Structure 1
Amino acid sequence: MKSSKECIIIKAVRVAPKPQRLVSSQRKHLLTATWEGVPAVIYQTLLGGPFLTGYLLYLGAEAAMIGFVLAVTTFFNVLQILTAFLVQRLRYRKKAMLISTLLNRVLWGATGLIPFLFDREWWIPVFLTLYSAAFIAGTVSGMLWTSVISDMVPAKVRGRYFGIRNTILNALGALVLFLGGTMLDWYPGGKGFLILFIIAWVAIAANMTLFLFYPDPPFERSTETRFLPMVRKPLSDTPFIRSTLFLGAWLFLQTLVVPLFSYAMLDVLNITYSVVSMMTVAQTAVMMIGFYVWGNLNARYSNRTLLFWTLPLIASSCVAWGLLSVLPVIPVLLLSHMLLGAGVGGFNQLAFNFMIGDTPKGDRPMFIAMYSAITGMAAFLGPMIGGQVFKLLLDAPVWMQHYGFQLLVGLLMLLTAWTLGRKVLLAAS
């Protein structure tokens, strides 16, 4: 028979609450990075994409100027090489990341004040100045964020984490895109854009607040202290530079036509805005599913292997335009955009993982900078040249105007993927 003292002890043990599961600091950091992306997606969606084009038209920009603005941000990636050298002087990165990020957000958000502070003849010049300065700061903040996030996310969960994060944020982006377009329909012109900018400024404030909760992991610096030897490191890493040069060439081919899909639908095929929006929604939906699928596959297969398998999907989205010769327009465009969503979503996610996962930790900033500079220059030249080709096709046969250029580039992309792509990406896996 148990004594009363023993019974009390047993009862206390039984009713004692279970210790709460401690949330590791690593898990908290991943949650912070996910929540930080929410306001970031809101302001980037409202200040970029079709809203940026609409705002430029409201300011009085012409087509050539709009094309330049849409392409010039990738050109600034070249500056990351100098930035990667300068940040080697830092022991910690958080302060520099916060300052450069704040400059990027404030300068970009300040473009919404232009109609209230300047005469109309100054609207476009001031916009170009603020926008360019914002994305020069953005090249610094982007590289520092990529370096920090690579230390925050463990390699073993990196593919799955970014797959889930990108799925959530792209779903939010699609919703914001729809709501922002509805808002502009209700309040056209300056009033509508003012409302969008006010929402964007609130999102910027929330975004910067959440950045304060990022960790500040020690910065493992390069063993090199001189500029040229530091630049030579990624250039002498044969698997990395071969893969990067190939991906740069691929992005050049891709951006010859893919950024101009909307132009081809609206101005060449005379598709309505509502149908174009439907295509964008379909592409985004497939992309969100793709983020999750590619992320899970990334836990089993290498970045380079999976990158290779995204290439035929992207190329097929261009080749699919050739079906316009025998099938109705809407099903063909829907197929093209679904293939594009599956391919581009995986490509962007896996290319990011390639930058932060397949590079040496101490020299990662310079590797990231070299990748961004090479691919950024390709993504700058592609749409500029592609736009000129579409102009030259105005006097070409109808089939060439409607789908010929996309079909030819798509076939070239397929050939490139199955020859050079197999040799570069699969051999390096």
Structure 2
Amino acid sequence: MLAPQAVVSDNDRERATRALMIDAAFATAIGALNSGVVLLALALHIGASTFEVGVLAAVPLLTQVLQAPAVAFVERWRRRKLISVGSVFLARLALPIYAAVPFIGSPRIAAATLIAAALLHYGMNAVGACSWNSWIRDLVPESRLGRFFARRGVYGTLVSAGATLVAAGALVVAARSRATGDLIFSGLYVVGFVCGLFSTGALATVPEPQMPPASRGSLTRLLTEPLRDPRFRGVLRFLVSWQFAVNLAVPFFTVYFVRGLGFSMSFVLILSLVSQLASVAVVRGWGNLSDRLSNKSVLEASTPVYLLCVVGMAFAHEVPGMAGQGAYLLLAHLVMGAAGAGVALASGNIVMKTSPQGSGTSYMATGALFGAIAAGVAPIMGGAMADFVARRRLELRLLWSSPHGTERLFGLTFSYWEFFFLLSAIVGSYALFRLSKVEDPGSVERRETVDEIWSGTMRTLRNASSVAGPRLATVFPAAQIIRAREGTRFLLERFFTERLGRSVESETEKVGELLAASYDAQPASDAPMDDLMRQLNDIE
């Protein structure tokens, strides 16, 4: 049942599409009910420290690096369906562990168990995503990929919206008492585990086409080659500094809203939904703007707005009244979601356009790996600094003294969480400086990247944050890496089927010789492949 098939018929592909929609619905429900803000709410419910919250926020980001060795594992074993189904099943075994966490008496043991379960959950999901992406891109015809992911995104969004409302209502009930909260959180994760069983069962019915012949290219060389490019190193400095700056503060927004401002977790969940919807609404507009102008222009417009919103969080406590603060946070998340979509889109585009022709996949993979490491380290460092900033206070006052006395005209007070947001803005200012040094080639349409980011924003949030966008720029392009290492056969077949309208088998003896030579060469760089494509152009 889990073995690859030599031939996958059109009827098999149609049935597979329906099964994948069922998988999408149940998998999205897991995300809305059990990940993101809900997971962080569980951490706060059991009394996790700020450092433990930082580690929990870092897990979804740091586990992205597992996709690099997973590529080699997939290519060596060549059983993508078995790897994917097995990985997601193991990942969902973490859900019953989550469900047991509220009943652990010691807060330290409970927090450690929660983090261990998150490592299992997100780590195995990363491995499964690597094989899943490659598997589905070979299963669904390339001409239908856009419609497939759009339809899957619609299913996911509808289920996510409903599940988010359910989760928000559950969090309201959970706030009534500790005992009630224990039962509510445990129930959410039990329901998530049941959804996981249905999702895994549907995925197991989807056929897997056999992978093309194994490649001989070096994965290490593929990922390190971009580091020799001075122009890409400039882009990488911006990406790393930006991801570090954003994730130094954003994962702690929820903690600040709940512990600092006194809002409920259900309200924070609404904030995350507002941010995500804003991101979905504007991402195609950002894509059109990047095509007309440049990706650097989009970054220069969106990154300062995002940073201003981060700084603005430090002033939320100055707004009078809970109603005023709530409206202020809703507006800030609306703007941050829109700005975050522009940052995520343009970051991916500028990496692709900085890369030489034919090397976009390796450049994006390297950028994603370094970005994920920076994004994962930041909340851990932020959590470790929590005790230091908790005992410090900064006050700025503007006083007017006269013979009649002294009057306070203006005053600002920064303490604890506000320090995180200001520090994040300072590091973000350095990221803006690095952006000014980035060279952006002429504008080239990257519609595929727009579609990828759009479908990404349609999925529910997977990290402990109330803001959409930061993690999208650290998604590892595993499927493209696997395809890039399949060598020149893929390029030859694509050339003849798309550009000449003929199959490889029907070509001349000269083309057959070129194809045979390509199997022997399996070039690790793009130069021999470019020569081969030039010869093919001559044939055309």
> Given the two structures, how large is their TM-score scaled by the length of structure 1?
0.73
Query: Which structure's residues are more often helix, by fraction?
Result: 1
Residue equivalent to 1:316: 308
Give 1:18-417 correspondences, 5 Å limit: 33=20, 35-57=22-44, 61-91=48-78, 93-113=80-100, 123-149=110-136, 166=153, 169-170=156-157, 172-186=159-173, 188-214=180-206, 216-219=208-211, 223-226=215-218, 228-236=220-228, 242-271=234-263, 276-291=268-283, 293-294=285-286, 310-321=302-313, 329-348=325-344, 370-389=366-385, 391-394=387-390, 395-397=392-394, 398-401=412-415, 403=418, 406-407=421-422, 409-410=424-425, 413=428, 416-417=431-432
Shift of 1:104: 1.3
Q: Deviations over 1:22-59 (max 9, x none)?
A: x9988876666555332112112222223223434555
Q: Deviations over 1:100-157 (max 9, x none)?
A: 22211223444324678x8869655544444323333223112223444555677888
What is the identity, as a one-letter code, of the residue corresponding to 2:76?
R
Q: Deviations over 1:249-308 (max 9, x none)?
A: 211111111222223333334455565455334323323323554577789888777666
CA distance in 1, matches of 2:136, 2:349: 11
Q: Do the aligned partners of 1:108 and 1:131 also contact (CA within 8 Å) in 2?
A: no
Q: Do the aligned partners of 1:76 and 1:136 also contact (CA within 8 Å) in 2?
A: yes
CA distance in 2, matches of 1:162, 1:24: 19
Pick one of 422, 440, 443 that aligns with 1:426.
440
Residue equivalent to 1:20: none
Q: Do the aligned partners of 1:279 and 1:333 also contact (CA within 8 Å) in 2?
A: yes
CA distance in 2, matches of 1:386, 1:142: 28
Counting matched residue pairs gives 405
Q: Deviations over 1:1-27 (max 9, x none)?
A: xxxxxxxxxxxxxxxxxxxxxx99888
Question: Once structures 1 and 2 are overlaid, which stretch shifts more, 271-280 or 356-365?
Answer: 356-365
Q: Do the aligned partners of 1:221 and 1:363 also contact (CA within 8 Å) in 2?
A: no
Structure 1: any 5+ residue segments left out of the alignment? 1-22
CA distance in 1, matches of 2:376, 2:169: 31
Q: Deviations over 1:56-84 (max 9, x none)?
A: 45556444323322223322333333222
> Given the two structures, how large is their TM-score scaled by the length of structure 2?
0.60
Structure 2: any 5+ residue segments left out of the alignment? 1-9, 175-179, 395-411, 444-540
CA distance in 1, matches of 2:111, 2:265: 26
What is the identity, as a one-letter code, of the residue corresponding to 1:426?
D
| SS in structure 2 of the partner of residue 426 of structure 1 | coil
Q: Deviations over 1:322-353 (max 9, x none)?
A: 76698654444333211111123454566678
Q: CA RMSD for the aligned pairs?
A: 4.5
Q: Do the aligned partners of 1:162 and 1:349 also contact (CA within 8 Å) in 2?
A: no
Q: Do the aligned partners of 2:94 and 2:121 also contact (CA within 8 Å) in 1?
A: yes
Question: Once structures 1 and 2 are overlaid, which stretch shifts more, 319-328 or 394-403?
Answer: 319-328
CA distance in 2, matches of 1:357, 1:154: 26
Question: Once structures 1 and 2 are overlaid, which stretch shifts more, 347-356 or 62-71?
Answer: 347-356
Shift of 1:91: 3.9
CA distance in 1, matches of 2:154, 2:302: 17
